[in-house]
Structure 1
Amino acid sequence: MKIAQEELEEIRRLEEMLHRPEIRQSPKAVAELLAEGFVEFGSSGTIYDDRDELIAGLAAERVEPASQPVIACDYAFRSISPDAVLVTYRSIAAAMGDSPSRHALRSSIWQRIDGRWQMIFHQGTLTTPRP
């Protein structure tokens, strides 16, 4: 069964919310987006499999006041089941000070749980800029 385009746009909006500092620093907002049992393979190689610890870590992130928003592009959506979607895309975090821009290939699995979409898995893999 194919998932409606409106739902895919909703998933994209939810995905991009997790890039925003004001959402990442709100434990309540992040808890609504990440399902119980959530797992992430971070671009650093770290495995995050303790949802509560991850939420606390995001809330404590230091954000540079002049930081640019993360750009997300090249989205692709693949239905896994009537209630699950694999989302893949590229993210670009702008250069800050001496740090170069960070390009990553990202994948997430979103599942409809109790009538709302929640992320159950995420992976970020650093990559080079597109030519």
Structure 2
Amino acid sequence: MELEAHLFALEQELQACTTRSDAHRLGQLLADDFVEFCASGTVWGSKAEVIAGLQDEVFSERRMTEFALKMLSTNVALVTYRGHRQGVGSSLRSSVWREEQGQWRMVFHQGTPAQ
């Protein structure tokens, strides 16, 4: 599978209700040094905080448009897209993914509110 399609699929998986409530799967998809700057202004400073926080999340459907990939190095990729969340609105999204022992894991994610 082409890398852009693979990372798109992983981003979609992270937006799915079943994945967001599955601590084990989140642990596989997020790097141990993961950090997130949320569109709400919240900063998740660790993988453990994100996993714990998502267990209580009130889920709303999400979709992506304008998905793009830029390689930062051989095993590090930046993806950007416009996120659309039902009942919330749109945001600009960026994620840094790193390949670790053959697996792509998210290292960083940021959401910025957009009109």
TM-score, with length taken from structure 2: 0.94
Aligned partners of 1:93 and 1:61: how far apart in 2? 14
Q: Which of 82, 87, 105 in structure 2 is aligned with 1:90?
A: 82
* CA shift for structure 1 position 110: 0.4
Over residues 86-108 of structure 1, what are the superposed CA-to-partner deviations in whole Å (9 max), with x where a residue is unaligned? 0000011123xxxxx41000000
Aligned partners of 1:89 and 1:50: how far apart in 2? 23
Task: Determine whether 1:77 maps to 2:77.
Answer: no
Question: Aligned pairs, how many?
Answer: 115
Unaligned residue ranges in structure 2 (runs of 5+): none
2:17 aligned residue? 21
Task: Determine whether 1:122 maps to 2:114.
Answer: no
Aligned partners of 1:28 and 1:85: how far apart in 2? 23
Aligned partners of 1:48 and 1:23: how far apart in 2? 18
Q: Which SS does the other structure have where 1:60 is aligned?
A: coil
Aligned partners of 1:8 and 1:108: how far apart in 2? 13
Give the greater-gyration-radius structure (CA).
1
2:3 aligned residue? 7
Unaligned residue ranges in structure 1 (runs of 5+): 96-100
* CA shift for structure 1 position 62: 2.6
1:98 aligned residue? none
Aligned partners of 1:30 and 1:121: how far apart in 2? 14
> Higher strand proportion, which one?
2
Task: Determine whether 1:104 maps to 2:108.
Answer: no
Instruction: Confirm or deny: 8 A CA contact 2:4 2:68 kept in the other structure.
Output: no
Task: Determine whether 1:53 maps to 2:49.
Answer: yes
Aligned-partner residue type, residue 91 of structure 1:
G
What fraction of aligned residue pairs are identical, expressed as a percent?
37
Aligned partners of 1:94 and 1:53: how far apart in 2? 24
TM-score, with length taken from structure 1: 0.83
